[in-house]
Structure 1
Amino acid sequence: MNEILARMPGMTPSRSPEPRERETAVERTRERILAAAVAEFGAKGYSGARTAGIAARAGVNAQLITYHFGGKQGLLDELRRRWQERQAAAPGAEAPFAESVRAHLDATLDDPDWARLVIWQALGDCPFTDEDDGRRQTEQRQALMAEAVRRAARRQEAGELRAGLDPRFAVLAAYAIVFAPIAMPQFVRDLFGTDPLSPELRQLLAAQLVTLLTED
């Protein structure tokens, strides 16, 4: 048939995609769905989000969400896994405190949909697959917080953080300031008179947080 089409004027034979091309197309579809899920969950929370809304954002048939991820819960589980990878890749104790603060602000405010998803999760709108999954997620979160407090304590011992400061407060203050432009954009806009996601405000917040936690 292809030989016949090739001899016909204006006709070219169709070509079946190579396996690598198919894999690339599938991966692109998965990534579009995941990006759409972050936006939908960030805007509406897990409870308010709908598979149809995610599919519309991604420009795909809703059945592809079930095929690739098993449904809305599967999407959330994959996003949780990716968030843990992002956290693991964040600057650790070896980075200077000011650099670590700027990096966390950049990571949070460069991708506000992810930050909103984290806020929804902190408010409890983030169901677990089952009881064991809930226990694992809780333990992982507690371990993350415990390590953050240990890092703050080590910075304090090294003279990076102000003496007499409770390391737990240092961690809480850092999280509160970093997420404030996402969690309370109207307050931030009213206080500073600028876009909560603007580079200028980002620089101010980083500098003031460092001043708060490092200077006596």
Structure 2
Amino acid sequence: MSTRRAPSAEDRGKTAERARERILDAAVAEFGAKGYAGARTAGIAARAGVNQQLISYYFGGKQGLLEELRRRRQQAESSMVRPDASFGESVAAYLDAILDHPDWARLVVWQALGDCPFTDAEEGERFAQTRRSTTAKALESIRRRQRDGEVTGEVDPGFALLVAYAVVLSPITMPQFVRDIFGDDPLAPSIRHRLHDQLVKLLGPAGD
């Protein structure tokens, strides 16, 4: 009769990492659907198929989960668009990032509405500084594209950036209007292509 081999430290580590990733995926879905205030660790655990106590063990609770998700989101955004990408390619990359991962986008919207708290004021200020820096870089990118003739110079660069953000996020922030206007699922590939093409035409060089 053979004896059952105890899991190695490596196997235990892999199991723990898989559990952590399931919890994080479930947290994105739960936060995206209900916001931070409405989400419950019991709901996250149920989505992940794990014991609720593991959330406290791995992340220290709901707040720790949110902080880890913020960190990952900032890392993802830093490499979302190639530095040499054209305006059209940049729009496509942002549409893919948002519409391929709608729960992440909903979490961003909840955060923008003030639903996702920070551990303390210092952490909130660090996040705000990062956001302002990212926005400043995006604005400078629009100005550069205007100087290069890639984006129309007929509109204020800040307004052009705001329009781009609004259109790209519209399937998440205004899904009912997108569906009523275009007659399709807001997350459908046809909507993605249509928003991309029309935004590039709208903000492209005058006369194009």
TM-score range, shorter chain: over 0.9
Number of the residue aligned with 1:3: none
- In structure 2, distance between residues paired with 1:210 and 1:130: 40
Residue 153 of structure 1, aligned match among 140, 143, 158: 143
CA drift at 1:164: 2.8
Say if 2:28 and 2:107, in contact at 8 Å, map to a contact too: yes
SS in structure 1 at match of 2:98: helix
Number of the residue aligned with 1:113: 103
Residue pairs, 1:23-62, within 5 angstroms = 23-62=13-52
TM-score (norm 2): 0.97
- In structure 2, distance between residues paired with 1:127 and 1:94: 35
Number of the residue aligned with 1:125: 115
Residue pairs, 1:1-80, within 5 angstroms = 6=1, 12-80=2-70
CA drift at 1:94: 1.2
Matching residue's letter, 1:100: S
Where does the alignment leave 5 or more consecutive residues of structure 1 unmatched? 1-5, 7-11
Number of the residue aligned with 2:167: 177
RMSD: 0.9
Residue 189 of structure 1, aligned match among 179, 186, 189: 179
Number of the residue aligned with 1:139: 129
Number of residue-to-residue matches in the alignment: 206
SS in structure 1 at match of 2:85: coil
CA drift at 1:174: 1.0
Residue 82 of structure 1, aligned match among 57, 67, 72: 72
Where does the alignment leave 5 or more consecutive residues of structure 2 unmatched? none
CA drift at 1:168: 1.0
TM-score (norm 1): 0.93
- In structure 2, distance between residues paired with 1:62 and 1:187: 38
Larger Rg: 1
SS in structure 1 at match of 2:201: helix
CA drift at 1:23: 1.0
- In structure 2, distance between residues paired with 1:215 and 1:191: 26
CA drift at 1:136: 0.5
Identity of aligned residues (%): 60
Residue 81 of structure 2, aligned match among 73, 91, 101: 91
SS in structure 2 at match of 1:85: helix
CA drift at 1:165: 2.2
Matching residue's letter, 1:213: L
SS in structure 2 at match of 1:16: coil
Superposition misfits of 4+ residues, deviation over 4 angstroms: none
- In structure 2, distance between residues paired with 1:155 and 1:100: 12
Matching residue's letter, 1:88: S
Say if 2:149 and 2:205, in contact at 8 Å, map to a contact too: no
Cα deviation 1:84-125 (Å, max 9, x = unaligned): 011001114410111111111011000100010000001110
